[in-house]
Amino acid sequence: MQASTDQKRSEISKMITAQSKQAEDFIQRYEGIVEYVELGIIRAQFILDIFTKISDIMKEAEGSLDSGFLPFNSAENKSTLMQNGLQLYHFPSCYLQDFVLYSGIIDHKISESLSKVISTSQTQLDSCQKKVETIQKTYQEAIAQCSHVSKNVEKLYNDTLRAYQKYNDAKSQGTSSKALNKFFEAVQTATISYHVELGNLSISVANLNDIYNKFCQTLEKCMKAAADIDKKRINEINNSCNLFRTPLENMSKSIANLIPTYSSIKWDWETEFINFIESLKVVRSNLSPVPFHPLPFSFEDASLPVPKVLVDEDVDRPIDAMTVDKSFTARLPNEITVNEGTFVYIYELPKHDWTFVSTIEKDRKGFVPSSILKPHPYKVGLVVKTYIPLNNKEIIVSAGESILIKELKNNCYYALNSKGMIGLVPEDCIVLQDLRL
């Protein structure tokens, strides 16, 4: 019996020595957390094997281990079994203490690995958030710039209206041509300033739209990156935890209170990350249209040339008539709306960007772009005596009326009167107007 016991004791001692040496070698050659887990499983299994052997020995005893006293059914081997049993009991007990220390190393490596994962992810998230804050600041500055320029445009627009009103007031009061020209110069200066600032606003709005698009793209990229980081981080943490959780929980079932439980771990970064994602969504949802006052015209007209002001204020006598080749919509009080295909009188040769015209009825006068006017076969004629038509091929004209005449046949002109009627008028009722009459 003694020899058998000594043999078992020797075998257990050798196993413990071998496993301890193996554990030291593994720790020295540690390259990853997984190796620690594998080593932990091996050592835990070894401990369970020792417990099994102790249990087998204790089955030989009558009763249980109590205060170091073992009653045995065989008096002749009582002393031997007691001695060997106690020694075998203390061997795994000491080893378990070593394993508790070893499991603490595993726990430290888990925390170290997960802290590194969380730190790396947080750095990436901070970078995304910094990009969002930078582009958001640029966007707010662009909005402020648009609002500032928009106010200037509105002010210059009102200045132009006031300058034109002063010109009209001076004209209605019979102000001399020389003094009236100063009012025209004021209108011209205000109009030019207004168009220049209008161009600046168009550029500012285009810049704002570009920044807005970049802002949206940055948000989308950051949200996608955050989602990718979140997915990767969760996978890494779950993988790390799962590598340890299952074997450690299994060992915990057999070795109570020796291995810490990982089932209640809560990660603080989760709440922080969710809040960050929600803040991105809030920023995205709060993007609103440009907050400046709408102007009474579209930016499509901003490229039109600046109107020219007449120096010669004798605008009661037209010098020629032309056809409107393209419709134009007035934007300022000194402009008029004309439709494609209609005739207009001109009061100066269209050598500038803008030409002062009137309708055939002369009920509306103002500037139109010179580029929309083209010559037509009619000439301007002055009616020297009233004529009442004798048939439906003729039209009525009044003395002093300016009309458009085309060709002379059988002593009659083919004419267009101020009421828009087309027909024949006797030659002796009309004289051709000189360009500068």
Query: Whole-prediction pTM value?
Result: 0.33
CA distances to 36, 249, 286, 327, 379 from 417, in Å? 107, 106, 61, 22, 12
Measured between alpha carbons, how far is residue 7 from residues 11, 70, 75, 89, 286 in Å? 6, 21, 22, 16, 80
Distance, CA of 232 to CA of 16 (rounded, Å): 41
Q: Is 367 helix (H, G, I), strand (E, B) or coil?
A: strand
SS3 category, 84: helix
The one-character DSSP state at 72 is B
The residues that bridge with 87 in the sheet, in sequence order, are none
Cα dihedral 116, 120, 126, 129, rounded to 10, equals: -130
CATH number of 1-264: 1.20.1270.60
DSSP 207: H
Q: Residue ranges of the domains in the chain? A: 1-264, 320-432
The terminus-to-terminus CA distance of the chain in angstroms comes to 148
Rounded Cα distance between 92 and 98, Å, is 10
Distance CA 422, CA 415 (A): 6
- Could you tell me which of 40, 53, 60 has the C-alpha nearest to residue 13? 53
Strand partners of residue 412: 409, 426
pLDDT tens digit sequence for 328-351? 988 777 788 999 888 888 877 666
Distance CA 254, CA 44 (A): 9
DSSP 300: G
Gap between the Cα atoms of 157 and 51, Å rounded: 96
Which helix (H) or strand (E) covers residue 103, if one does? Answer: helix 78-172
Residue 155 DSSP symbol = H
Would you say 354 and 367 are in contact if contact means Cβ atoms under 8 Å apart?
yes
**Any bridge partners for residue 381, and if so which?**
403, 432
pLDDT of residue 430: 86
Q: Does domain 320-432 have CATH number 2.60.40.10?
A: no
Residues of the chain with pLDDT under 50: 1-2, 16, 19-20, 22-41, 44-45, 47-48, 50-52, 54-55, 57-100, 102, 248, 251-252, 254-274, 276-277, 279-281, 283-314, 434-437
Structure letter (DSSP) for residue 420: S
Pairing of strands 365-369, 354-359: antiparallel
Phi, psi of 396 (to 5 degrees): -90, 140
Per DSSP, 294 falls in state: P
Residue whose C-alpha is closest to residue 338's, from 346, 328, 348, 347: 328
Distance CA 376, CA 323 (A): 6
Phi, psi of 67 (to 5 degrees): 55, 35
Query: What pLDDT is attached to residue 153?
Result: 78
Residue 217 tokens, joined: 């793209």
pLDDT tens profile 188-232: 777 777 777 777 777 777 777 777 777 777 767 766 766 676 666
